[in-house]
Structure 1
Amino acid sequence: MFTALHACGDLSSHILNLFVDSDRATVLCLVGCCYNLLTEEFPSKEFHDNAAKQGLSYGYGFPMSSHLRNRSFHLGKNARSLASQPLDRLRVNQTVPSDTLFWRAVLQVILIEKLGNPKNKIELRVGKLNKKVNSFNEYVNKAIQKLNLDITVISDAEISDYYLRYSSHKDKYFAFYKLRTCMGPVIEALIQLDRLLFLLEQENTHSAFLIEIFDPVISPRCYSLIAIKQTSNERF
Structure 2
Amino acid sequence: MAFNDIPVDTLKRKIDELKRFLSISLSISNAHTVDFYTRDVWSTFMCVSPDDVLCAISSTHDRMRTSQPAKNNAAECPLDPNDSDSGSSFLSMLSLDVIEDVSPRVHPSQLSLEEREKRKRENLERKAGEGRGNIRDDGLFSPLTSYVTAETELKTLITELEDAVLVGLHTCGDLAPSTLRMFRAKQELRAVCSVGCCYHLLSEEFDQDRQGCVDGVCGFPVSQYLKAQACFCGRNARMSACLLPMESLFYRAVLHVILRDHYDCFKSEKRVGNVYSKASSFVDYVRRALRKLDLDDTKLSDGDIQSYHEHYSPRMNEMVAFNMLKVILAPCIEGLILLDRLCYLKEQDNVSHSALVQLFDPLQSPRCYAVVGIKESTV
Partner of 2:207: 43
Q: Is 23-32 or 195-204 further displaced after alignment?
A: 23-32
Determine the C-alpha separation between the residues in 2 that align with 1:216 and 1:230: 31
Partner of 2:233: 75
Partner of 1:104: 252
Deviation at 1:121, TM superposition (A): 3.4
Name the aligned partner's letter for residue 169 of structure 2: L
Q: Percent identity?
A: 41
Confirm or deny that 1:202 pairs with 2:348.
yes
3-state DSSP of counterpart to 2:278: coil
The counterpart of 1:139, out of the listed 285, 293, 297, is: 285
3-state DSSP of counterpart to 1:214: coil
- Give unmatched runs, 5+ long, in structure 2: 1-164
Confirm or deny that 1:230 pairs with 2:354.
no
- CA gap 1:131/1:97 in 2 versus in 1, 3 angstroms: closer
3-state DSSP of counterpart to 2:270: coil
The counterpart of 1:25, out of the listed 184, 189, 198, is: 189
Determine the C-alpha separation between the residues in 2 that align with 1:209 and 1:19: 15
Q: Is 76-85 or 103-112 further displaced after alignment?
A: 76-85
Alignment of 1:1-236 (within 5 A): 1-45=165-209, 57=215, 59-84=217-242, 97-116=245-264, 118=265, 121-129=267-275, 132-232=278-378
Root-mean-square deviation (CA), in Å?
Answer: 2.2
Name the aligned partner's letter for residue 62 of structure 1: F
Name the aligned partner's letter for residue 218 of structure 2: Y
Q: Is the 8 A contact 1:144 1:150 kept in 2?
A: yes
- Give unmatched runs, 5+ long, in structure 1: 48-53, 86-95
Q: Deviations over 1:156-207 (max 9, x none)?
A: 1110001011110112211211111111100000100010000001111111
Q: Deviations over 1:57-78 (max 9, x none)?
A: 4731111011111222222211
TM-score by length of 1: 0.84
Q: Is the 8 A contact 2:204 2:220 kept in 1?
A: yes
Deviation at 1:103, TM superposition (A): 0.7
Deviation at 1:46, TM superposition (A): 8.0
Partner of 2:39: none
Name the aligned partner's letter for residue 110 of structure 1: I
Deviation at 1:56, TM superposition (A): 5.2
Q: Deviations over 1:62-102 (max 9, x none)?
A: 110111112222222111112456xxxxxxxxxx9431111
Determine the C-alpha separation between the residues in 2 that align with 1:64 and 1:217: 28
Q: Is the 8 A contact 2:204 2:210 kept in 1?
A: no
Count of aligned positions: 215
Deviation at 1:130, TM superposition (A): 8.2
- CA gap 1:84/1:76 in 2 versus in 1, 3 angstroms: same
- CA gap 1:176/1:46 in 2 versus in 1, 3 angstroms: farther
Name the aligned partner's letter for residue 114 of structure 1: H
Q: Is the 8 A contact 2:174 2:218 kept in 1?
A: yes
Q: Is the 8 A contact 1:208 1:225 kept in 2?
A: yes
- CA gap 1:31/1:122 in 2 versus in 1, 3 angstroms: closer
Deviation at 1:7, TM superposition (A): 0.8
Q: Deviations over 1:118-158 (max 9, x none)?
A: 2x634212232286112100111111111112223322111
Determine the C-alpha separation between the residues in 2 that align with 1:66 and 1:46: 18
Name the aligned partner's letter for residue 121 of structure 1: K
- CA gap 1:173/1:55 in 2 versus in 1, 3 angstroms: closer
Name the aligned partner's letter for residue 64 of structure 1: V
3-state DSSP of counterpart to 1:26: strand
CA radius of gyration, larger in: 2
